[in-house]
Structures are given as structure tokens and as C-alpha cells.
Amino acid sequence: MHKQKPTAGQIELLMSDWLANLREQGSFVHKNDKGAIRRKKTDNYSDYFTKGMSLTSMLDVLRNAREIAQGTVDSMTSVPVRVVLGGDGSATDGKTIVIATDYFDREDLSIGDKIDILTGYSVHEAAHINLTDMESTPEFIGSFPPAERETAMAVLNILEDERIEYLTGEERPGLMDFVATVKDFLWRRYEQAGSVNEKVTEPLPRFINTLLSAVRFPSMLTEEMVTENFQELMAIRKVLMPYPLSVEGVRIATKKIMEIMKDMVRKDLEEKQQQQNSQSQDGQQGQPGQGQGSPNGSPQKKPTAKEVNEAMKSALSSKQMQETLKAVNAAAPEQAQGTKDKAECLRTNNDGDKKYVDGDAEKITATGAGTGSISYMIRPKGNQTKYSRSYARIKSHVAAIRKALICHSQTREYELRGERNGRLDTNKLTSLRQGNRNIFTRQGEVTCEKASICILIDESGSMRGSRIEAARETAILIREAVKTIESLDLFIYGFGGNEMHLYQEGRKADRYALGSLVADGGTPTGEAMQIAYRKMARHSYPASLMLVITDGDPDRNSAVIEADAMLRKKGVIPVGIGIAGCRAVTRIFKENVVIDDLSQLAPQLGKITKKRLTKMMERHDSLA
């Protein structure tokens, strides 16, 4: 069975952009020319609000990334939508949008590029909320056989992404420059994943690559890809022209494309059976009584529906296909679908979907915990390698911090001589004749009330890289300094998205747990402060110091202000520690410190701890 070869004209037709979109950065996006904003392409499209800024000012803009994303989404949607940052994938469930931040630490991207990508992700996910019917998506995907659902979802996402971007380009052409930047960034990541056609040998994964290129990245389509999948591409073009601009139209097209893929499997089976029959005939040449078409003279059999379905199932479950689907998903922001993948991306609260760490997780109710979006307290498994590496960097500061804290927290005895009452000092009896009545000694004791230190670490996506490393080193420094001081209890928690991580509670801790600090999620700071207090109150003493280490604005400023006031009434002193120059803490914490140099975070926080404990730990003198 030979594939039809395309003519030069057919190749040119298939390699063109079927939607007549505009070329931008190697990608294609649609713009309504009548309302399009014309920008001169320089280094990035965000230069309209970063132009003329100093590097420090531009870094401040990036630190306020969540506000940029939230503002973009708010400008597009008519319903309240919460934006959180974190991870390496963007997705939405219609109420919350997760915006990827894995590119924040990439040195090959300028600050403007990062803002462009952030804004582009925000536009795309807001478009899903406006235009995608998410509630019925799981039912649609469920109509496919189980073995086909993952592939069908990938095909649907490819088509739906193009549909919503086309319609957004009609309504809001000025935003499409940002979408083009994201498409270019995602395609480059797709190439780097090693899943482009030359690295894949199986027909269906190669077909998925070709489909993605034809629909989403026409400039990336090669003549080799067109020639190999010519008949299939012609069939797809017929399905997609004119391009479906409704939810139902995209779903019908998805079903037809899945049938095209099944047709490829069917033809492959027929070709294999023909080859087997041909080999059998060659082996029986010269034997009498043999007819045409098969060794026994019977007509050529076609694959049964069962055989085709089994072959389809096998092809879709192959390692190459799974790797390709993973790469395809990474090359596109996701539309939420009500499946486990979406639950993981959005870190939902469903017990059936939640992956616990060593089976150790505590469900936290919303009562007394802000809006209650934090739902799980997880005890992470320790990472000795990372812990040891961080400890080696701060080891030289431990003794000094321990000494400073001991001086203000230990019990001390003392003796006063030459007193008028107390215990007789026999050495002073000879001075009694001279009229000296100060011949007594008194012994006293100074004690400090026991206290607690809570370190609350922001584990949102923007804390990746050097920031989370600095936070880890700081927590380890305090932990190592306090562990032998009996009058001080230490609590260490991390927060991001709807999870909190329990690293230490009082004297109970996996020594290496802090090696597992992560940066992936949103910034529910106010809720985390209240939950941390509730956890501490079960074990601790009234006097407590809470150090909140963060690098940006929380999801809700008001929640932090409310938590700060509430904790102070309970005897807890919260101190906002703004790292990497974050000044958001000055607006939301009554007491705050801004640290610009990450290398100084650990020693500086040691000094801050000493200073605050000195003020809050009451000292009692037995002679007073």
C-alpha cells in the first residue's frame, strides 16, 4: 500500500496558515485588523510600561507579577476569578487561574520577555473562562473509549486553544502580541523536550506532532511532515475549513480527527496483513490448487473492528505516544477538564485526587482560617542532600546566634554581698565592731518565660531558585541554633496554593525535612498565618514570635492585615520579612523588615530574632 505523493501546489497549500493569521515571532496569531494595536517590535511588548525604568524598578514590576496577571484577567472577565502563580503549567477551572512561573529564573529571558509571557498566559486562560464550556468537557471526553481519552483530550486542547485565541484576536487584538510571545516560548520548549518529528519514529506520535504544527504553529510545519501525512492532513483540512468557532464545532472536529487516526491504524493493519499474505503466497508458489488473493484462494480479509480497536489501544499506550502527549501538554496552556491532571495542576482539595506524602496528611477545615482555601497540612519527606548543602553554608553563624539567644532565655543564679538582711556572711563579722551592718548575702535567680518562634515560609512559584534556597538556609540556621535551648520552641511551616507543609513542631521534627522546601503555588499568606497560630496553640506558650518570609504580595492584602491584628491580640508578634527587596511587607505588616541581599538573609534574621525575643520574653527576678 503506497501513500499518495502531494504536488508542489498541495504542499504549499498545506504549509500555509489555514486561518490567515498574522506571523509573530515564528508563531501565528489572529488579529482583527480594524481594531489592532500596531506596536513596533523591540525587545518585548511590555516596554510600554517598563520603558525608561531602572533595573531595580523593573524587578519591582516582576515581583508584582501576580498583580499584573490578576489585572489582565480582571480586564477580560465579568466574573470574579482568583489568580495564583506557580509551577510550570498554566490552567483554569473557571474560578481560579494558575499561571506558570517556571521561566522567572531563566537568564536567557529579559524582564520584559517574562512579563510578556506572564501576560500572554493570563490572556489565554481568561479566554478559556470566557469561551470554553468546562463543565461538559469531562462528559465529552468520557464518550471515548478509555484508551483514547488522553489523546482525545490533547486533540481537543489543540483545537480549542486555537479557537479561543482566534475569537480573542477578534475582540481584543491589542492583547495578541502577548499570546504570540507565549506561543513562541512554548514551541521552543516543545522542541527542547525532544518530541519533534525527527526524534519520533511511530506513526501516531508523528501525526500528533504534525497536527500540533499545522493548527498551532504553521511556520514550524516542514515539507517532510506534509509529505508523510499528506492524506491525513488533507482530511484534517477538510474538517477544519472553515475553522470551527463554537464549542460544539470543535468537539465534532475532535471526533473526526480521532477517526482519522483510527483509519491510519486500520490501513497499517491491512498493509501488514497483505505483506503476510504475500509472503505466504511466495512460499507456496508452484503448488496446485492455489487461487488469487490469499494462500488458500479465499478473498483477502480486512481487519475486524476488534482488531482495529486493539491496535489503536496499543499504539496510544506506547512509550513514544505517552512522551509525545506529555510534550504536547507542556506546549500549551491547559483548559481544565475535571480530571486528575487538572486537580494536580490546580492543587485541588479532593481526597481522591490528593497525593499524600508517606500517607501523612492532615485535613484542615476552613473554620478560623481566613477563606479556607488552604485545606491540607502535609509532612514532607526529608532531603538530606539539600539540607546538608544548606547547612554547610550557614554553619559558621550557628554558634553566634545560639549564644545570643541563650543570653536572653536561660535561667541564671547570682549572689549579692554586703546586704542588710539575708544569710550571714561570716567573713564580714570583724567589720561589725566598726559599725558596718551590711554583713549579709542574698542569692537570687533570674528566669525567663518560655517562648516560641514560628518561621512561616512563602513557597509560592515566585520563590523559585535563589530565594527558596535563602529561605531554607535561614530556617536551618534558626533550627540549629535553637535545638539545644530548652526555653525556646520552634515551629516551621511552608505555604503555597492550598497546602501547608509542616517542617517542625516544637521538639518533633525530621531533621532533614527542610531539605524538601519547594516553590510552587499561590500566596495565601493571611490564611497560613492563622492556621500556623492554631497549630502552635496546641503545643506552645503564650509569648510567640512569627517570622513570615516572603518575596511578594499575598493573594489578599486584607487577609494578612486581619491576621496580623488578630495574632497580636493573642500574644503573637508577626514580623514580615520581605526578601529580594520586596516592600509589600511594609504595607501589610505592623512590624516588618526588608532585606535586599539574599546572602545576608540568614544572619540578619538571626539578629532580628534576638532583638524581638529580648523585648517580648518577660524576665523574673526572685529578689524583685
Q: Where are the domains of the chain?
A: 8-263, 378-409+448-621, 412-447
Instruction: For the chain, list residues with pLDDT below 50.
Output: 1, 22-26, 289-293, 295, 335-361, 365-372, 408-411, 414, 446, 619-624
pLDDT at 72: 87
pLDDT at 352: 34
Strand residue runs (E) in 6-147: 22-24, 27-29, 82-85, 91-92, 96-99
Strand partners, 489: 452
Secondary structure letter of residue 597 according to DSSP: -
How far, rounded to the nearest angstrom, does the alpha carbon of residue 198 sit from its chain's CA centroid? 31
Strand partners, 499: 376, 496
By residue count, the chain amounts to: 624
Q: Which three cell numbers stand for residue 254?
A: 475532535
How far, rounded to the nearest angstrom, does the alpha carbon of residue 232 sit from its chain's CA centroid? 37
pLDDT at 249: 92
Please give the class, per CATH, of domain 378-409+448-621.
alpha beta
Which residues have a Cβ under 8 Å from the Cβ of 46 and sit 6 or more positions away? 112, 115, 116, 119
pLDDT at 561: 93
Per the CB < 8 A criterion, the answer to whether 311 and 137 are in contact is no
Q: What is the tens place of the pLDDT at every residue in 551-563?
A: 877 888 888 999 9
Report the 3 state secondary structure along 123-167. Answer: HHHHHHHHHCCCCCHHHHHHCCCHHHHHHHHHHHHHHHHHHHHHH
Instruction: Spell out the alpha helix ranges (H) of 298-383.
Output: 305-316, 319-330, 340-346
Burial 25-62 (b: 16+ CB within 10 A, else e): bebbbbbbeeeeeeeeeeebbbbeebeeeeeeebeebb
Question: Is pTM beyond 0.85 here?
Answer: no
Alpha-carbon span 273 to 267, nearest angstrom: 10
pLDDT at 373: 63
Q: Which three cell numbers stand for residue 346?
A: 490546580
pLDDT at 364: 56
State in Å, rounded, how far the first CA of the chain is from the last one. Answer: 103
Per the CB < 8 A criterion, the answer to whether 268 and 311 are in contact is yes
Query: Is the bond preceding residue 80 a cis peptide, omega within 30 degrees?
Result: no
Q: What is the tens place of the pLDDT at every residue in 173-191?
A: 888 888 888 888 887 777 6
Q: Which three cell numbers stand for residue 298?
A: 479465499
Alpha-carbon span 162 to 177, nearest angstrom: 15
